[in-house]
A = this chain, B = another copy of it.
Amino acid sequence: MDAFNEKSITKNTITRASSYLRVIKNLRSLGFVRVYSSNLADALGLTPAVVRKDFSALGLEGKKKGGYLIDDLIARLEDLLGAQKPRKTVVVGCGRIGRALIESQELRREGIQIVAGFDVAPPPPDEQGEVPIYHVDMLQSFVQKEGIKVGILAVPSHAALEMFQRMRLAGMRGFLNFTTVNLKCQEQCPHGCEEQCIIIQINIALKLENLFHMVHITEHHPELLRE
């Protein structure tokens, strides 16, 4: 069964925990020693009750009126989230989007290491860049040897399901899905894997479609919008 589905509190709690860690690190760099649930709530547009509930669910305790000690919180959130581990990932499908991600300086600056790309038609040796692009048949052995758990899927949609299954078989558990196929962790993997996996969909066409629709409603049916 999928550990996190779109509606579960757990996935949202962990997503917020990543944000808490970012904000708290910023506060530490500004010289703060303590942080209150209301500080985090303000910074992230949440209510203090949500922050306290998350902290409680994550086993993070504070002093009633003294807030939370920042050094303590950072250490515990980093341990909980595995935030100090290297973030090594691979890109499967090295078309335009895949290559753009592989070459992205911005991802590197954010600490994401794309260590290899995989494609059905990898470029010849003299056209390889800094990050090697291998044939997809190399995926399983590479990923298992390097212990890669998170992958980016950027193949054409017709190849999405097959590549997703290959990535799962190779032991990958987290997927950033740029295809238009709505991938799901089946309850029972056809290959008998029992581990859960997590998929984040980035369907660019769908997001753009939503924007067109929302702008249209703003302009033509403003009466439907709530204040």
A30 within 8 A of B: no
- CB distance B202 to A214 under 8 Å? no
Residues of chain B within 8 A of A220, CB atoms compared: 82
Chain B residue at minimum C-beta to C-beta distance from A5: B45
Residues of chain B within 8 A of A96, CB atoms compared: 99-100, 103-104
Q: Which of B17, B57, B174 contacts A215 (CB 8 A)?
A: B174
A191 within 8 A of B: no
Of A8-16, A61-69, A117-125, A136-144, the one with at least 4 CB within 8 A of chain B: A8-16
- CB distance A208 to B80 under 8 Å? no
Residues of chain B within 8 A of A83, CB atoms compared: 213
- What is the total number of residues of chain A having a CB less than 8 Å from a CB of chain B? 73
Q: A104-B97, A110-B180 are in contact. Are A81 and B213 (CB under 8 A)?
A: yes
What 1/0 mask marks residues of chain A from 69 to 98 whose CB sits below 8 Å from any chain B CB? 000000000001111010101000000110
A183 within 8 A of B: no
Q: A198-B215, A217-B81 are in contact. Are A15 and B224 (CB under 8 A)?
A: no
For this chain, the copies found in one complex come to: 2
- Among A1, A111, A216, find the residue whose CB has the most chain B CB atoms closer than 10 A: A216
Complex Cα gap A80–B215 (Å): 11
- CB distance B81 to A216 under 8 Å? yes
Q: Which of B14, B58, B107, B218 contacts A204 (CB 8 A)?
A: B107
Complex Cα gap A18–B196 (Å): 30
- CB distance A82 to B216 under 8 Å? yes
- CB distance B218 to A198 under 8 Å? yes
Q: Which residues of A contact B (CB under 8 A)?
A: 1, 3-6, 8-11, 14-15, 17-18, 45, 57-59, 80-83, 85, 87, 89, 96-97, 99-101, 103-104, 106-107, 110-112, 149-150, 152, 156-157, 173-176, 180, 195-196, 198, 200, 202, 204-221, 224-227
25 contacts between A and B (CB under 8 A): A3-B225, A10-B225, A10-B226, A14-B214, A18-B209, A80-B217, A81-B217, A82-B213, A85-B216, A96-B104, A97-B97, A100-B100, A101-B204, A104-B204, A107-B204, A110-B205, A110-B206, A111-B205, A149-B215, A149-B219, A173-B215, A174-B212, A174-B215, A176-B204, A202-B207
